[in-house]
Every structure is written in C-alpha cells, then in structure tokens.
Amino acid sequence: MPTSAQPTVHEFGRRLAAVKSAMTDRALDALIVADPANIYYLTGYNAWSFYTPQVLFVPLEGDPVLAMREMDALGAHRTAVVHVDDVLGYPETLVHRPDTHPMAWVAERLRDRGLAGGRGLAGARGLADAHRVRVGFEGDAHFFSVRSYLAFRDAMPEWELVESRELVNWVRLVKSDFEIGLMRKAGRVASEAMRCAVDAIAVGRPLNELAAEVLAAQARGVGPDADGEAADGDYPAIVPMFMYGEGADTPHLTWTAERMAPDEAVSIELTGVHRRYHAPLARTVALGAPGRELDRLAGATVEGLDAALAELRPGGTPAEVHAAFDRVLRRYGLEKRSRLGYSIGIGFPPDWGERTVSLRAGDTTELRENMTFHVIAGMWMTGYGFEVSESVRVAPGGAEVFTDAPRRLIVKEV
C-alpha cells in the first residue's frame, strides 16, 4: 500500500491520462514502455528486474498490462500501486534462450486478450482498417533490446511499430507538487553525501575509501528536518564519480585505490536519491592551496553558473540559460563545448537524466514551472578540471536549488 511518501492512485491516474493524451496526439493505439523509470512513473513498480526483458503495454483504451519474468511478476504487488491485478509472468524456461524470446510469449498473451488488433486496439481511434494499428515503442530505452523489438514485430504482423520518441519522458518533464517534494528530499540526501565526501578527503586516503563513505551516506539518507520529515536514501542510477589529479580533465571517471596527495584536486559528482528521484550534485576540492589556473577557472565557472541559474525561470528557454553562462565564460576567454545541463527526475541505472530538454544553444523548449534540471558547469581542461553543479526547479524568481553545498572551489588545508 502507498505511504505518505508514495504517489496516490489519483497521482498515477493523472500520469496515465497525460500519457494517453500524448498517444492520441501522435495517433498511437498502444505504447510499449520498457524504460524502468517510465514503468515506475506509471505504476510504482520498483525492483532490480530490468536486466531481463520487461514491459508495460499501454493501450489507448483500457488498463495497462505489466509483463515480466515470472519470479518478479509474483511479487510485483509489493511495490506497484496500480495495475497489480494484471501482471503477466513469462516462464523461467524463456530466460536467456537463443532460439526464442520472452517478448514473443508476451505478444501471444496480448493476442489472447484481444490486443493484437481488431476491435481490441484499432477501435480506439475508430480506424477503418481494423487489421493495422499503430503501436509505439521506446527505441532508445536502455533495456528495450533489438531482440525484444524483433519478437513483437514477428509475432504481431497487425502492428505498425512506431518509434515513440521518448513520449513518456516528455510527459514526466513537468513535475507535480508531490514530485517536487520528493526532489527536495533527494536534494537533502545529496547535500549530506557531499558533506561526507568533503569531510573524508585527506592526504594519503585512497579514493575507494572516499567512495565507501559516499555510498554509505547515499543509502543512509538524512534524519528529520525542521518539519520532522526524514529522507531515506536509495541506490543511485550512476555510481559516485571522482575525477582526481590530472584525471580531473576527464568526466565520468569512477575511482581507484590511488591515494590522494597534497597540491592535487578531486572533482566529485554524486547524487542524492529518494524513492527513485535524483538530485545530482558536483563540487571540486583542492588539497592545499590551488594552482593559479584552477583558481581562475573555478571563479569564472561559478560566476557563470550563478548567471545561468538567474535565467532559469518560466517563459525562458534553455538556449537563454546557456547564453547567460557562455557570456561570462567568454569574458574570461573560456568556452564550454558540452551542454550545461539536462532534465532530471526519476532515475534507474545507467542514467539519472530524463533524455528530453538540454541546457544548450539551440534548444528553444519553453521552460515551465516545476521542470527540474541538473545544471552542471563542468570545465575539463588539459591535465586539470573543475566541476560545480546544482539540481534545481524552474521557479518564478529563478532557480530553486535543491542542494546545499558551498558553491565555490573548496580548499582543504594539508
């Protein structure tokens, strides 16, 4: 059953209605949802089962059907708030078989339910041709394999399979007030994890021990705030990343057993997670007085990030936010070639991004209140680098920042 920290049936109904409205706009009779973040968004189902094929089949009319491995289907009701009476579990004998595929079995069960075509699906849009229906699929979802696609294509000749272009992800873009509450809690967890990371940094300490401190803080979460609200931690979609020494010029490095040395710096990128909602956070820590180049880079980057956050308000565009950052950098003779940020929310491995809006030149999406972004001002030079980021909400007066960490180059005396 849902708790006060979980979506209500009404919240899930609102989400499903929005997805079906988007399906109507794109003339889709049904949608195959494979991204575990999207399945969670629409049902509440949450387990580490996505490494085997699983989908949520959403017809334009009627209730969705959740399909997964039998051992997982039997316990789907433990987390799924809605649609729990309609879960298909494919037999264990279909797991890791070269001669057949679980989605072929799922397709046949959908056919048995009248969801192959005819009145079961085509009637949703009043099609004259009841033998050909448009079914969307998530072609860029990490866990929708080519074999899954081929299994549906071969088993359902009545279907015209159509790339859905991240349909559910775009519906997720504007958060409800309930979701914003979860994001704020994730931000508290991120802030605590970063405090633990900074406290753990010391000359002679290996990076893997630093990782252990961060991972523990992410799982532990934080205790009650002034309103008595605690925020339990969850596992991150991306592990903590530590760009150290000369390796600070390369994003997305993880950790080694190398020991931290004086006069070096480490960039930390981590996230707080609460009920699968993510609030990433990045900071850079220098062990001892930073070099002149790093100090100058940090000052310019933080100034640019401040300017960008001030532009992150309803009615603006990502391009305008990026331009504000870029104007500051150019005054210092600097350039950032990668994007400045991206939308965030629910995350499952291997990514905490929503794969929709990017904060970069050319993106003219209208910013709306309650969109949420990871604004990451990562500057990767040659042999050194600096990262500072915030997870934020688009708010009328500019960005609401979910996290709480010193927005500067953090210097630890050695």
Q: Which domains does the chain have, with CATH numbers?
A: 9-171 (3.40.350.10), 177-412 (3.90.230.10)
Q: Is 223 helix (H, G, I), strand (E, B) or coil?
A: coil
Any idea of the CA torsion for 325, 327, 333, 338, to the nearest 10 degrees? 40
Average pLDDT over residues 88-110: 97
Count how many Cα atoms sit within 13 Å of the Cα of residue 57 in the half-sphere of its side chain. 25
pTM assigned to the model: 0.95
- Residue 333's pLDDT is what? 97
Q: What sections of 144-286 are H helices per DSSP?
A: 146-155, 167-171, 177-200, 207-220
Distances (CA, A) of 74 to 68, 69, 77, 152: 10, 9, 8, 23
Average pLDDT over residues 201-219: 98
Q: pLDDT category, 81, cuts 50, 70, 90?
A: confident
Mapping DSSP onto H, E and C, the string for 257-279 reads: CCECCCCCEEEEEEEEEECCEEE
Average pLDDT over residues 12-28: 97
Q: Provide the mean pLDDT of the chain.
A: 94
Q: Is 369 helix (H, G, I), strand (E, B) or coil?
A: coil
Residue 5 has pLDDT above 90, yes or no: no
Average pLDDT over residues 283-302: 97
- Residue 120's pLDDT is what? 61
Residue 132 has pLDDT above 80, yes or no: no
Residue 362 has pLDDT above 80, yes or no: yes
- Residue 1's pLDDT is what? 35
Residue 234 has pLDDT above 90, yes or no: yes
Give the pLDDT confidence of 403-414 residue by residue, as tens digits: 999 999 999 998
- Residue 354's pLDDT is what? 98
What is the C-alpha to C-alpha distance for residues 182 and 192, in angstroms, rounded to an integer? 16
Q: Is 192 helix (H, G, I), strand (E, B) or coil?
A: helix
Q: pLDDT category, 2, cuts 50, 70, 90?
A: very low
